[in-house]
């Protein structure tokens, strides 16, 4: 078995899965990566230098990664030369990555681009990204508002509270910095719902209590590119997970 997770596309050269939230794209450095038992995207030990899983069913090269809390489309290759070709497509921005994100407030204008310089910092076993004003941008995305959930009053047995407006965004990620969408959204006063690192913790508590949101509302919904071997266009889609769709309805 190569993966325990839903397969969106597979052929002789590529394997694309629908990664659930709380699943690692690959084991963290220093952690045992023998039999992952579904804790990682693919089965087997992982070579961080080659970015490759070595399992009983064969080798799988990871092309990109998603944060553990992010669900959605994850691309891998079955051959080293195909992996190299796919990574070139990413580096040259010839792979279109689309995300669905629920954020606090209503970005203005309703569509546009966010550009920042983000620095990755590590310490105490944690990785964070920090915006650095005045530096040339190295992180860019484009967004558009798909829908706005207007401010509403939520009532529980204990009390009544007013939740702010929320916006469902469609984001095209042009670069791939650590926690990029989460940091760029929070920097503009629109933290991602359910974000336990950069988010609005009071809002997260209210959303958990009133609509049952218990995870980061960030989903890799689309991946579009030209197959590096067959040269055929691929348009891969992952529907919004049930737990997120139910939160929107509530």
- Catalytic residue annotation: 67
So what's the pLDDT on residue 1? 80
User: What average pLDDT does the chain have?
Assistant: 91
C-alpha dist (Å) from residue 62 to 47, 174, 200: 10, 19, 32
With bands split at pLDDT 50, 70 and 90, how would you rate the model's confidence at 122? confident
Whether the upstream peptide bond of residue 228 has omega within 30° of 0, thus cis, is: no
Domain 1-92 part of CATH 3.30.2350.10: yes
User: Are the C-beta atoms of 112 and 87 separated by less than 8 Å?
Assistant: no
* Whole-number Å distance between alpha carbons of 128 and 17: 26
**Do the domains at 1-92 and 94-250 have one common CATH topology?**
yes
* Whole-number Å distance between alpha carbons of 92 and 186: 27
Give residue limits of the domains in the chain. Answer: 1-92, 94-250
**Token pair of 93, please?**
């921005």
CATH number of 94-250: 3.30.2350.10
pLDDT digit string (tens) for 130-167?
Answer: 999 989 999 999 999 999 987 666 655 555 567 789 99
With bands split at pLDDT 50, 70 and 90, how would you rate the model's confidence at 36? low
């Amino acid at each position: 078995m190569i993966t325990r997770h839903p397969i969106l596309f597979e052929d002789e050269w590529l394997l694309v899965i629908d990664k659930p939230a709380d699943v690692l794209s690959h084991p963290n450095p220093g952690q045992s990566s023998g039999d992952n038992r579904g804790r990682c995207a693919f089965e087997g030990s992982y070579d961080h230098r080659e970015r490759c899983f070595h399992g009983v069913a064969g080798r799988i090269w990871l092309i990109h990664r998603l944060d553990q809390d992010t669900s959605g489309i994850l691309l891998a290759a079955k051959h080293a030369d195909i992996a190299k070709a796919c990574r070139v497509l990413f580096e040259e921005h010839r792979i279109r990555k689309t995300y669905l994100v629920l954020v606090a407030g209503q970005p203005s204008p309703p569509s546009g681009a966010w550009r920042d310089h983000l620095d990755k910092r590590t310490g105490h076993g944690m990785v964070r990204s920090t915006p650095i004003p005045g530096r040339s941008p190295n992180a860019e995305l484009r967004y558009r508002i798909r829908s706005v959930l207007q401010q509403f009053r939520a009532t529980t047995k204990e009390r009544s509270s007013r939740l702010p407006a929320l916006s469902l965004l469609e984001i095209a990620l042009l670069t791939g910095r650590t926690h990029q969408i989460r940091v760029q959204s929070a920097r503009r006063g629109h933290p991602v719902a359910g974000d336990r690192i950069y988010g609005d913790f009071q809002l997260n508590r209210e959303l958990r209590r009133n609509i049952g949101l218990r995870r980061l509302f960030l989903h890799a919904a689309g991946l579009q590119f030209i197959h590096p071997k067959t040269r055929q266009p691929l348009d891969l889609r992952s529907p919004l997970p049930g737990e997120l769709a139910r939160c929107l309805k509530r």
